[in-house]
Amino acid sequence: MGEKTGTALSTQNVIVAFEDFTPVRGISVDITPGKTVAVMGRSGSGKSTFIKAAAGIIPVTSGTVRVFDRVLGPLTNRELLRLRKTCGFVFQDAALWQNMSVYRNLALPLEQHYPDLTKSERDRKIRNAIDRIKFTDDLNLRPASLSAGEAKLVAFARAVLTEPELLILDEPTTFVDRTGVDRILGFLRELKESGTTLVIVSHNATVVSQLADEIMVIDEGELLVHGTPDVVAGSDNALVRDIVSDVLDQAATFDSDILTLLGEIDNV
Amino acid sequence: MLDAVGTRVLRAPKELVYALGFMIEIVRNIPAYFRMQRRGGGGGVLKMQILFTGVNALSIVAVLSLAIGAVIIIQGLSVLPQLGQGQLIYTILITVITRELGPILTAFIVIARSGTAISTELGNMVVDHQIEAYMATGLNPITYLAVPRVLGVVISLVLLNIYFNFFGLVGSFLVTQLVQPLALEEYLFGLYGSVTLTDFVASFVKSIVFGVLIGCVATYQGLAVERAGTEVPVRAIKSVGQGITLTVIANAAITLVSYL
């Protein structure tokens, strides 16, 4: 247990090193509860590894991670379960369990976190979640039958079913079509308004501009800047400006969002 | 070149320590698995593992044990009476079928079918981030994925061994009738007179030990995949090689101990 820090997520000098490379090199950051933080960086800059380490999904080589003042380290099954109820995670490639139906993908987290729920209560929660993302397909389908965008929406529903106070999302809009992006944006806005802390790795200009209270820019495993969009926009660091422009420019290719994007880059 | 050899040599003991730690972790998580099952989760994985490893292997085990049992009886009945040792056929049957071939052949079948399947499935789950998704949901992959697979392999091996013995000893008798008729009473009485408690215990212990080794090796190799899909077949091959090696060594050790 750590001392009370009043942060939703706090990392101190976090380093993640693999055998052949070190994707995260000493990132320290404090994220206030209720804030929405966009994490930006070029491909391979260490963003995904950092947020996975921050969520306790991959172990840190050195440094400390605190989630709502709890220091992450070796956790017992019970502690792990308690932490996961607080901290949800959406993977870039959805990571749905392929050997289960969509329904089981959604029911399993509920069974783990709310073992006393009756089946009808569980079904009601699942129905609410899929209604919110407007998922209309058969819940008995296997994830392999879904499009990448639909799988992403189901993964999103799975992560929010347990009503986490901190939700970490790795590229939530990748592979999702325009309608899907709008659904996710709407849902993220609801979560933000309800006080959920959001940490979003995103290349999507709309997500960053409409949701982010703060922006972190990471390059080669190091945190270049962390602050409000104004602070990041006013950064003297040319690398920061290059990365923000590069990332948003790259997003334009995928999002067909050139006009919006140009406005964003001008603002930055 | 020397550097690469040195790295591999140094990596081997490190991997052995990891593997032992993994095995301990599986044993440590068995109570957590049963607690989870009482809450209604994880039971399906165990049932499916028994279905794939045990039930689906019944036909190949039946064919193998029938053929081997029949061959032993026919050869024994042809040769042993010439040496005045006709009664030894029952001891040979029990020794070969119950103590040796039953446990080890069923183990080989399970390594070939399920060991590779488990390693490949888990390896692909690592590559697709499904294992990380379990962790992100609060499910310990060792408790939820590895423990039921290891238990499934152990239970299946014990049951397949019993099945192998049944077909090897009783079923093969029927095959023998086609070649060299033998009275059923005489056959069963002969078997009963030759079998000892040690035969059963040794066979049972072997099945359990082999099951633990095969299950742990297969799950370890599957979960040891790091990032790339190309690692999956490599780990599956390692799972077969290590499974066979460890099973053969354990078989020799248990046989040795049972005769002390």
Specify burial of residue B197 (Cβ count, 10 A radius: 0-12, 13-18, 19+): exposed
Write down the pLDDT at residue A143. 92
Q: Mean pLDDT, to the nearest integer, of A86-110?
A: 91
Strand partners, A14: A27
What is the distance between the alpha carbons of residues A102 and A144, in angstroms, rounded to a whole number? 10
Interface check A190 vs B, CB under 8 A: no
Range of the domain at B205: 2-259
Those of residues 66-95 in A touching chain B at CB distance below 8 A are 77, 80-85, 88-89, 91-93, 95
Domain count, chain B: 1
Binned at pLDDT 50, 70 and 90, residue A77 comes out as low
CB A157 within 8 A of CB A103: no
The residue ranking higher by pLDDT, B184 or A103, is A103
Structure tokens at B243: 């499974």
A40 touches A247 (CB < 8 A): yes
Which of B136, B139, B143 has the CB atom closest to A89's CB atom?
Answer: B136
B44-57 confidence digits (pLDDT tens): 889 999 999 999 99
Please give the average per-residue pLDDT across B118-134, as a whole number. Answer: 94
Task: Work out the pLDDT band at A262, boundaries 50, 70, 90.
Answer: very low
Structure-token pair, residue B205: 């212990």
Q: Residue B88: is its pLDDT beyond 70?
A: yes
Question: How far apart (Å, rounded) are the C-alpha atoms in residues A80 and A173?
Answer: 28
Identify the bridge partners of residue A181 per DSSP, sorted by sequence position: none
Contact between B130 and A95 using a beta-carbon 8 Å cutoff: yes
Annotate B79-106 with b (16+ C-beta within 10 A) or e (fewer): eeeeeeeeebbbbbbbbbbbbbbbbbbb
For the stretch A140-156, pLDDT in tens is 999 999 988 889 889 98
Question: Which pLDDT band, with edges at 50, 70 and 90, does B43 fall under?
Answer: low
pLDDT in tens, A187-211: 899 999 999 999 999 877 778 888 8
User: Sorting pLDDT into bands at 50, 70 and 90, what band is A254?
Assistant: very low
- Picking from B15, B45, B137 by the largest number of A CB atoms within 10 A of its own CB, the best residue to mutate is B137
- Distance from C-alpha of A117 to C-alpha of A122, rounded to nearest angstrom: 6
pTM for this prediction: 0.84
Average pLDDT over residues B187-202: 89
